[in-house]
Structure 1
């Protein structure tokens, strides 16, 4: 049996990886898993990602997809599902990825002691000084004061609970009951009223899942306080188990095998496009050599020649690394959240 074409490079415990994994499983897709480190260096990912700092990334042949927002849109494009309200879904995803994520991040076991690190992989990660230093660099070099975060957690909790209240209200009156005057969500349906979970559900689920892995979550996230959140979360877990691929879910392969896949798919068999669908005022065009950099964190520019550019994504072909000249890839980024400038102005 041949290996699945979808390859996810990720590390265990990442909520962003969990978002993609949830989409793959609800869609019943076969996929391969390459285990990476939660921090740099990731030497065998570099020939594919060319400096892109964030994780996870998805690989199909020699195409590399960055940012979970784009990854989920690409899965939806290739394997259409229930994303019937793309604009609203994108807005909900942004809320989950930014605001809800930061609220939950504040409640992580920052600076866990050596003894506490034995409690779970989550405690081991957030108690690892090398991990904290890596995340400080990822955030622009600002040091992380784990002790200060721990002292502030009771006061930061208010923000998390406020957003959980908002989620509870959304799930009490989902889109389908608004449209069809049906009964509350407990009898079925999802955030956008679809028959199966959509990108909006995947995005929220991953962050709630991350929250539920913390030791103190049962103290303040209860079924009595948030009955609709708990019912929806349970239905999500059940749906994932029902739909996941029966034989080729999370097929483990090595980073070397993933590089070989990219090598075999490169050259004449790789991505070929000159699509350009942009605003009349657009200043970037197919053939331009540019640097693509995230706006918020992990601001490491990736340089390459544009092979496709639209309102929603940009695809570039970087020069192969000297260490891996045989690995010729195309890297895809979303337009939202990324700055695209001429390569000689990458420091802007």
Structure 2
């Protein structure tokens, strides 16, 4: 199998989720550091528009969104499982909540003025302004929590997680599952990136102990890799045939009246509204796949999860 190439940056919370998942499965991977804000020319050459972090590249196949990346990692190496058979349903439901409701409460708390000032303390003022404008553009479709409301919600969520962590080493038992990785990364940002905001964790010591166990998993065997090298890899590779890639399901599920072979766009429901356009080559119960052409990377297949993304016919199609 071609190398697993993760496009990420160090302070990205969702990247930490995937870095730990790679470590848990003891997978070797290549690390491409990408910009935190636009412009991202190499990113867009590969994804066609999607600019959220991280994304996973395997040859000329591009897997977007950390939820879908977890599915890919499970297919690449089944053990240890992210989705234990007896927890498949509840772990996925919890992970979806953690990646959305919990995460946005945590980040609204983390990046209130005091936290944001810490993040950009060593950066020039224009850097903070550019980051703010970039994230404002990405969240144009969202209702953002105010700091006080976010703090109240975050405290409540931490207590609920503590009730789980008091019962087991991990949230659902003796071993971590996808729920742990999804719940961890927003809290990791509190402790690792804005430590002056981390006092909120003190009221739930069981959460801190669980976080220590998660951090001890590590990031696995990582090698640094250049962005230009990743472009070269994609250009030299052929994407895997639809139905034979690293996503298990392949049967066509038509919920939109859009046949395969149509020109379409796929856009995130909320955060990151930039569309990716291409030809629809797969629409299964779990994911969409687009084929697209780019002068720098040739033919690539870009994959998205169904949940959280909107499929439309391309304008004029």
TM-score range, shorter chain: 0.7 to 0.9
Unpaired segments of 5 or more residues in structure 1? 173-183
1:287-323, CA deviations, whole angstroms, 9 ceiling, x for partnerless residues?
22211111112112211112222110011101x224x
Do structure 1's residue 88 and structure 2's residue 90 form an aligned pair? yes
Secondary structure, in 3 states, of the residue corresponding to 2:73?
A: helix
Name 1:260's counterpart in structure 2: 232
Name 1:273's counterpart in structure 2: 242
Q: Distance in 2 between matches of 1:297 and 1:155?
A: 20
- What's the CA shift for 1:141? 8.1
Unpaired segments of 5 or more residues in structure 2? 244-248
Secondary structure, in 3 states, of the residue corresponding to 1:287?
A: coil
Name 1:30's counterpart in structure 2: 28
Number of equivalent positions: 307
Q: Distance in 2 between matches of 1:118 and 1:298?
A: 22
1:257-314, CA deviations, whole angstroms, 9 ceiling, x for partnerless residues?
0011111212xxx211258524465523322221111111211221111222211001
1:97-137, CA deviations, whole angstroms, 9 ceiling, x for partnerless residues?
1111111111234456998567578xx89971000001111
Secondary structure, in 3 states, of the residue corresponding to 1:58?
A: strand
Q: Distance in 2 between matches of 1:301 and 1:119?
A: 33
- What's the CA shift for 1:206? 1.2
CA contact (8 A) 1:111 1:128 kept: no
Distance 1:114 1:200, change over 3 A: closer
Distance 1:231 1:4, change over 3 A: farther
Distance 1:100 1:127, change over 3 A: farther
Which of 201, 219, 228 is the matching residue for 1:221? Answer: 201
Alpha carbon RMSD of aligned pairs, Å?
Answer: 2.9
Which of 294, 309, 321 is the matching residue for 2:294? Answer: 321
TM-score w.r.t. the length of structure 1 is: 0.79
- What's the CA shift for 1:218? 3.8
TM-score w.r.t. the length of structure 2 is: 0.87
Distance 1:157 1:344, change over 3 A: same
- What's the CA shift for 1:205? 1.4
Secondary structure, in 3 states, of the residue corresponding to 1:51?
A: coil
Which of 31, 37, 40 is the matching residue for 1:39? Answer: 37
- What's the CA shift for 1:4? 7.3
